[in-house]
Amino acid sequence: MSGHSALELLLPEVQQQILLRLDFVDLQALIHASPRMYQVFRLNKRTILSTVTRQRFDPATTRAAQAIERLYSIEQPPFSRDTLLRMFSTLDELDDSLDIVLPLPVSTTLGRLDGTIRFFADDYTRNTFPILGQLGQSGFVTIETEYEQNPHGPRSDISRSESNRLHRAFSQFETYRQFFSQCSSDFNHGPRQCFGEPSLTVYEQAKMFCQDMPAYQAAEIACVRDYLYRRLRGVHDQVEDEVVQKLQAGCPDPRDKYEGLDWDWDNGGRHQYLADDEHIFGYSGKYMQNSHIEYLLSLGLPYIRRILESTGDKRQDLLLHTESRCYAHHQTNFITAALGLDPLDSNDDQYGWYERDIDSCLDENGKLDLPPGWLWAHTGDYYHGLVDVTAKGLRDWGYVFWDLERLQKTGILDLE
């Protein structure tokens, strides 16, 4: 209380300088605790939020957020193809305005996103560090198909540079999702039944969004994609177990291949044992599960967080509420296809732009800013192009995020 009292006595100019140096969490706490600080914040809200946002988010994310805001000033979604193409042709103009105060809606939107990213960055380290430690100790570890949430585990300490890389990857993932979720009525990521193609194909969207992105940053997004997919797979399997346990005695287990086939083909009543939205757990619905998880990724980080933090019927509702409406959607693999990670797609022409050499990894100021894990994987021609499907094992432990000191301590860099 005495500390807050002392802050109340400072000059408004000094109080503003204090607010400009805080992150979103501390800023919110201070303006709630100090009436004078709140008054200073209220009078200088746009400047303070803009400064804090630029300190927290990388320039690429703030530029993309400004582009989204500019799009809304041009037309209401769904945005037309011509509008999007015109916007990307003038996106470089935003580079000249880096010193200008961000619009308040941009800062507010990114400020809300910051809390969600903090949640996922912490969850990511809790699920990834055990894999990193086991690999360093044994040189081999069986990677399961899912992560298990450990909310009561110890909080992982990471460096500022590691935190910045994680923050950048999650923010770029969410920005990509927000930007192209407004491309057309066929790609609006809401409950829908659609049969048409979106204004821009996944490959066009990815090429425009990632065209100036260093290769290692695209690899960061790929690591985030794998992590989110695995977390949702874990929840999906848990909900499936709950659904199976609720089946009546004597009903076939929908996970059993032969009973599932007999039930679907001979009886012709696939909903006899499962509710409509639960049919995805039956054998004939298995082929849709990967696409459905990909669709959940397209709903964004805030929605995924709600799934991870929910239990029981609420979690099942969040997981399945749109399942029956996404069968006909042509672009459920939006992030997998965009990163070139779909092993079933062999159209090399669509991925020609992904081939980049190490010069593409220079940052905007021309300084080399390569994660040590990325450099280690890049040597010996192991890592090719923007994102390589053969690097899947590396993405399991987030090789692009960790500092050299951590990698050396675990012994990862000494492995073949």
DSSP per residue, 111-170 = HHHHHHHHHHHHHHHHHHHHHHHHHHHHS--PPPSS----TTSPPPP--HHHHHHHHHHH
Q: Is residue 185 assigned to a domain?
A: yes
Please give the structure tokens belonging to residue 286.
């298995």
User: Are 63 and 167 part of one and the same domain?
Assistant: yes
Q: 355: helix, coil or strand?
A: coil
The residues, any chain, with a CB within 8 Å of residue 254's CB and separated by 6 or more, are: 243, 244, 247, 260, 263, 273, 274, 281, 282, 283, 285
User: Are 7 and 137 part of one and the same domain?
Assistant: no
User: Are 347 and 216 part of one and the same domain?
Assistant: yes
- Long-range contacts of range 140-144, CB-CB < 8 Å, 24 or more positions apart? 143/393, 143/396
Q: Is residue 90 assigned to a domain?
A: yes
User: Are 88 and 32 part of one and the same domain?
Assistant: no
CB-CB contact of 414 with 382 (8 Å):
no
DSSP string covering 382-414: -S-SSS-GGGHHHHTTTTTTS-HHHHHHHTGGG
User: Are 32 and 154 part of one and the same domain?
Assistant: no
User: Are 28 and 93 part of one and the same domain?
Assistant: no
Q: Is residue 262 assigned to a domain?
A: no
Measured between alpha carbons, how far is 98 from 32 in angstroms, rounded to an integer? Answer: 30
User: Are 163 and 113 part of one and the same domain?
Assistant: yes
User: Are 18 and 166 part of one and the same domain?
Assistant: no
pLDDT of res. 188: 41
How many domains, the chain?
2
Q: Give, as one character, the DSSP assignment of residue 253.
A: P
Q: Is residue 179 assigned to a domain?
A: yes
As to burial, measured by CB atoms within 10 angstroms (0-12 exposed, 13-18 middle, 19+ buried), residue 346 is exposed
The residues, any chain, with a CB within 8 Å of residue 355's CB and separated by 6 or more, are: 384, 385, 386
User: Are 169 and 27 part of one and the same domain?
Assistant: no
pLDDT of res. 412: 79
Q: Is residue 195 assigned to a domain?
A: yes
State yes or no: cis peptide before 78, omega within 30 of 0: yes
Q: Is residue 36 assigned to a domain?
A: yes
Please give the structure tokens belonging to residue 45.
């809200």
Q: Is residue 38 assigned to a domain?
A: yes
pLDDT tens digits along 226-268? 999 999 988 988 888 887 777 655 565 655 544 444 444 444 4
> Residue with structure tokens 């807050």?
4
Q: Over the chain (416 residues), what is each successive 10-residue block's mean pLDDT?
A: 70 92 92 92 94 87 80 72 72 61 90 92 90 70 56 69 92 82 49 44 68 80 92 88 70 54 44 58 70 84 94 88 49 66 55 45 51 76 54 83 90 74
User: Are 88 and 38 part of one and the same domain?
Assistant: no
User: Are 17 and 155 part of one and the same domain?
Assistant: no
User: Are 18 and 105 part of one and the same domain?
Assistant: no
Please give the structure tokens belonging to residue 257.
């291949």
Give the pTM.
0.79
Domain span at residue 33?
2-43
Q: Is residue 173 assigned to a domain?
A: yes
